[in-house]
Amino acid sequence: MALTGVQIYKFLPKTNCKECDFPTCLAFAMKLAAGGVELAACPYVSDEGKAALAAASKPPIRLVTIGAGEKKIEVGNETVLFRHEKTFVHPTGLVVRIKDTASADDVAKTVAEVSGYSVDRVGMTFGLDGFAIQNDSGDAAAFAKCVETVSSKSDLPLILMATDPAAMSAALGKVGDAKPLIYAATKDNIDQMVELAKKCGCALAVRSSDGLNELAELTEKAIAAGVEDLIIDSGVRDFAGTLTTLTQIRRLALAKRFEPLGYPVITFPGEGASSLDEEAVLAAQHIAKYGSIVVIDNFTPALALALITMRLNIYTDPQKPIQMKPGLYQIGEPKAESPLCVTTNFSLTYFSIAGELEGAGWASWLLVCDTERLSVLTAWSAGKFDAEKIAKTVKGENAAEKVSHRNVIIPGGVAVLRGELEEELPDWKIMVGPREAMAVGGYLKENWKN
């Protein structure tokens, strides 16, 4: 838990020397508590004070990196239990499991499908984050070969899953400096796994077979041995158990500052589910409730799309709603004579109107103006959705080349812009649509004559 200004003040020299550029030590402490300045700005703080303040400012859930390079996965650093309290910060890493018992062809196929998987949502591109390769064969050589195959075909981060330290060691030898996650240290092999993690500078996953006490015991052991980049696995797999356990881990880390469990959590929804759609539901639960790495067994495009979307939604900062990239969007397969509607780039506004047009079966052109994520009326009253902005977007997106008519429909909420817009767009007829997206189907039926 962060310290208050007054608590920090106790560790400062209280000399008001002003060398930190603040008039008093208390003023500096207040600014420090608010995160506006670094402790290093005070030249006189004692070592004891530094240690105490460093411990207090340590994030309650450690930030851990898996992989190296541009595509590395960063998870942790979460500060809230509920997304509305602030926001969730590091989106869940979605990785696909491959077993070393699969044929070389199947492995190659999965690697190609998963690493090539990409979807566009709200004007951005998203994909999957990595592979977990499991030593199911029990054979160290087969495992190493499988790891080598995957790593040669993809630059996505890897999780190496084996309990035999010899197999892990052999596989680590095949991946160079790729910094995979070592999964997993258990009570039977922790000493050797810790050594491997230290040797190659990789993050280490720790798995309990008997609840949170054993898990905390294992992380303390790893930390004592010098490995701090940890990912934790409670060993629990089912719906109710993971919800309860992951909630308890998050609460312990945040509310109790219980350091042994202040690490990102890895989950395996496929092991708690008996079908693909059940795995999807459990994986979605893990995205919402505290899974930092979710390992998928049944990869299909539909499942990946749903989970990527869930992650995008849950990890959206409530203070910064999802925005649509401004532009001219197609609803259905519009023709040159299809309606042209104007809206804002607040995602919910876009989704409402796009959904209604889609639902009512109106293939149309939807022109999204950059209103800085504000809805129609809010944007209008903030001066971010005016005639000039609409006219500029109509011209900038070359709407006149896409449609053969010259009718543009503006939201009913900004009917007042009509006159001004007629001046800005003299070649166009400005039509005033309904105030509510829900009424657009009826409005078009009544007013749109092809």
Least distance to other proteins, CB of residue 272, Å: 8
Examine residue 438 and tell whether it contacts other proteins (CB under 8 A).
Answer: yes
Examine residue 301 and tell whether it contacts other proteins (CB under 8 A).
Answer: yes
Rounded to the nearest 5 degrees, what angle is found at the Cα of 140, between the Cα atoms of 275 and 294? 35
Q: Strand pairing partners for 159?
A: 132, 181
Examine residue 284 and tell whether it contacts other proteins (CB under 8 A).
Answer: yes
Examine residue 291 and tell whether it contacts other proteins (CB under 8 A).
Answer: no
In terms of CB distance, is 151 or 292 closer to other proteins? 292
Length of the chain: 450
Question: If DSSP codes are grouped into helix, strand and coil, which group holds residue 146?
Answer: helix
What is the C-alpha separation between 247 and 253, in angstroms, rounded?
Answer: 10
Examine residue 319 and tell whether it contacts other proteins (CB under 8 A).
Answer: no
Spatial CB neighbours of 262, under 8 Å, sequence gap ≥ 6: 59, 60, 61, 62, 253
In terms of CB distance, is 134 or 343 closer to other proteins? 343
Examine residue 238 and tell whether it contacts other proteins (CB under 8 A).
Answer: yes
Q: Strand pairing partners for 408?
A: 430
Q: Are the beta carbons of 292 and 94 closer than 8 angstroms? A: no
Exactly one of 39, 216, 296, 376 binds other proteins (CB under 8 A); that residue is 216
State which of positions 335-374 bind other proteins (CB under 8 A): 347-348, 351, 355-356, 358-361
**Burial class of residue 351 in the structure, from the number of CB atoms within 10 Å of its CB (0-12 exposed, 13-18 middle, 19+ buried):** middle
Spatial CB neighbours of 240, under 8 Å, sequence gap ≥ 6: none
Examine residue 90 and tell whether it contacts other proteins (CB under 8 A).
Answer: no
Examine residue 303 and tell whether it contacts other proteins (CB under 8 A).
Answer: yes
In terms of CB distance, is 100 or 279 closer to other proteins? 279
In terms of CB distance, is 84 or 449 closer to other proteins? 84
Examine residue 412 and tell whether it contacts other proteins (CB under 8 A).
Answer: no
Exactly one of 102, 281, 377, 400 binds other proteins (CB under 8 A); that residue is 281
Stretch that binds other proteins, among 130-138, 178-186, 252-260, 365-373 (CB under 8 A): 252-260
In terms of CB distance, is 134 or 154 closer to other proteins? 154
**Burial class of residue 423 in the structure, from the number of CB atoms within 10 Å of its CB (0-12 exposed, 13-18 middle, 19+ buried):** exposed
For the chain, the distance separating the N- and C-terminal CA atoms, rounded to the nearest angstrom, is 63
**Burial class of residue 23 in the structure, from the number of CB atoms within 10 Å of its CB (0-12 exposed, 13-18 middle, 19+ buried):** exposed
Examine residue 1 and tell whether it contacts other proteins (CB under 8 A).
Answer: no
The DSSP annotation for 185-236 comes to E-TTTHHHHHHHHHHHT--EEEE-SSHHHHHHHHHHHHHHTT---EEEE-S-
Rounded to the nearest 5 degrees, what angle is found at the Cα of 264, between the Cα atoms of 263 and 270? 140
Question: If DSSP codes are grouped into helix, strand and coil, which group holds residue 265?
Answer: strand
How far, in whole angstroms, is CA 320 from its chain's centroid? 14
In terms of CB distance, is 144 or 253 closer to other proteins? 253
Examine residue 220 and tell whether it contacts other proteins (CB under 8 A).
Answer: yes
Examine residue 292 and tell whether it contacts other proteins (CB under 8 A).
Answer: no
Examine residue 247 and tell whether it contacts other proteins (CB under 8 A).
Answer: yes
Examine residue 447 and tell whether it contacts other proteins (CB under 8 A).
Answer: no
Interface with other proteins: number of residues (CB under 8 A) = 66
Examine residue 208 and tell whether it contacts other proteins (CB under 8 A).
Answer: no
State which of positions 34-63 bind other proteins (CB under 8 A): none
What is the four-CA torsion angle of 425, 405, 356, 288, rounded to 10 degrees?
Answer: -70
What is the C-alpha separation between 207 and 87, in angstroms, rounded?
Answer: 28
Give the ranges where 14-164 is alpha helix by DSSP (H): 25-33, 47-57, 104-115, 140-153
Examine residue 248 and tell whether it contacts other proteins (CB under 8 A).
Answer: yes
State which of positions 101-120 bind other proteins (CB under 8 A): 117-120
Q: What are phi and psi of 406, to 5 degrees?
A: -130, 50
Least distance to other proteins, CB of residue 260, Å: 5
Examine residue 213 and tell whether it contacts other proteins (CB under 8 A).
Answer: yes
In terms of CB distance, is 142 or 281 closer to other proteins? 281
Q: Are the beta carbons of 311 and 91 closer than 8 angstroms? A: yes
Examine residue 251 and tell whether it contacts other proteins (CB under 8 A).
Answer: yes
Question: What are the residues binding other proteins (CB under 8 A)?
Answer: 82-84, 117-121, 211-213, 216-217, 220, 238-240, 243-244, 247-248, 251-252, 255-256, 258, 260-261, 276-278, 280-282, 284-285, 288-289, 300-306, 309-310, 312-314, 316, 318, 333, 347-348, 351, 355-356, 358-361, 438, 441-442, 445
